[in-house]
Amino acid sequence: MVNATEPRLFCVPPPAAEDDRSARFSPPDGAPPGPWTKDNAYRYCERMATTHYENFPVASRFVPAHLRPNVMAIYAFARTADDFADEPRYENRRVESLDRWEQLLEACYHREVSHPVFVALRDTVRRHNIPIAPFKALLTAFRMDLTKKRYETFGEVMHYCTHSAKPVGRLVLYVHGHHAPALHRYSDEICAALQIANFLQDLSVDTPRGRCYIPREDLVHFNVKRDDLLAARHTRAFKELMAFSVERVRTMFLRGRPLIRHVSPGLSMELEATWRGGMAILQRIEDCDYEVLNYRPTLEKKDVAGIALRSLFAFGRRFISGEA
């Protein structure tokens, strides 16, 4: 029977073992053993969020102060899992670490777990009634990163985004109290667009590593050879492919834009800035004539400041007109 005071989350099977309570417990990320209070656990997640470099804001000042710790707890969960998939120190134990992380995730939906990230995360999911599905989807994406380096169709790329990008937007909406499916659909468009824009931005980084997020069907359609990518040849065919890809992602951003007008004020400003930042990356790719195979287009500080200022003005106009 479900206790009346418990959040009614998606059904989560009880954990198979409770070895995180034993003296033999060794967390996969090497977190200190504690004991951990909620306050200390949230501070641990905050340190992680402020010491890792990201190309997007984590719990910026637009986010209400009482929600920032919850956003940082979600970030700490995802950041650590991403490290399992990417960081050299986890070589030869990536799958094991991700599996153990998932076990701790499931356990925290049932009871307290002796790990700072999951102490904070348990409090977060209980406060905001967050189902486990988005967290599990993220872990699926990190496992995909271990084995899949190329994609046959755009549908496959979108399938990856369903696990890697869309859950992040949904988790942020949950924390802000937005559970409506219509808002989640708008969020899915923006998050997938951000992910694919990042793929286009990172071609000079991913291609030498053997990763290619441009689907093979598009390479064939535009007659772009794999050797051209590896040799960083900006052929006419490649530029036509990039122009098509940029416009497709821009359309996704536009489909998701209504979300900005239908969420709480702080989140609205955060989304406005994020949306404009993604669109600016696409513009930067166009401005360099799509020559991104040996150059990573980025936004400078003045660009970021301009985006923040325009986002604030846009929110002001919506507020004055009664749309905010």
| pLDDT digit string (tens) for the chain, length 324 residues | 344 445 555 556 666 555 555 545 678 988 988 789 999 999 999 998 887 644 444 545 668 889 999 999 999 999 999 999 989 999 999 999 999 999 999 999 999 898 999 999 999 999 999 999 999 999 999 999 999 999 999 999 999 999 999 999 999 999 999 999 999 999 999 999 999 999 999 999 999 999 999 999 999 999 999 999 999 999 999 999 999 999 999 999 999 999 999 998 889 888 988 999 999 999 999 999 999 999 999 988 777 777 777 766 665 666 566 665
20 found inside a domain: no
What is the pLDDT, as a whole number, of residue 5?
46
Domain boundary among 85, 107, 132: 132
Give a three-class secondary structure readout of 126-164: HHHCCCCHHHHHHHHHHHHHHHCCECCCHHHHHHHHHHH
Q: Describe the crossing of helices 265-287 and 301-320 by its angle, rounded to 10 degrees.
A: 140
Assess whether 113 and 210 both reside in one domain: no
Q: Which domain holds residue 191?
A: 148-324
Structure confidence at residue 55 (pLDDT): 43
323 domain-assigned: yes
pLDDT for 304 equals: 74
Verify that 185 and 60 share a domain, yes or no.
no
Whole-number pLDDT of residue 2: 42
Tally Cβ neighbours within 10 Å of residue 184. 17
- Which backbone phi and psi does 22 adopt, to 5 degrees? -90, 165
Number of domains the chain is built from: 2
pLDDT for res 303: 72
For residues 210 and 183, state if they share a domain. yes
- pTM score of the predicted model: 0.87
Domain for residue 14, yes or no?
A: no
43: exposed, middle or buried (C-beta count within 10 Å: 0-12, 13-18, 19+)?
A: middle
pLDDT at 321: 62
pLDDT at position 19 is 54
Considering the domain architecture, whether residues 44 and 122 belong to the same structural domain is answered as yes
Q: What is the CATH number of the domain that holds 110?
A: 1.10.600.10
In a domain, 13, yes or no: no
- Give the pLDDT confidence score for residue 323 in this predicted structure: 60
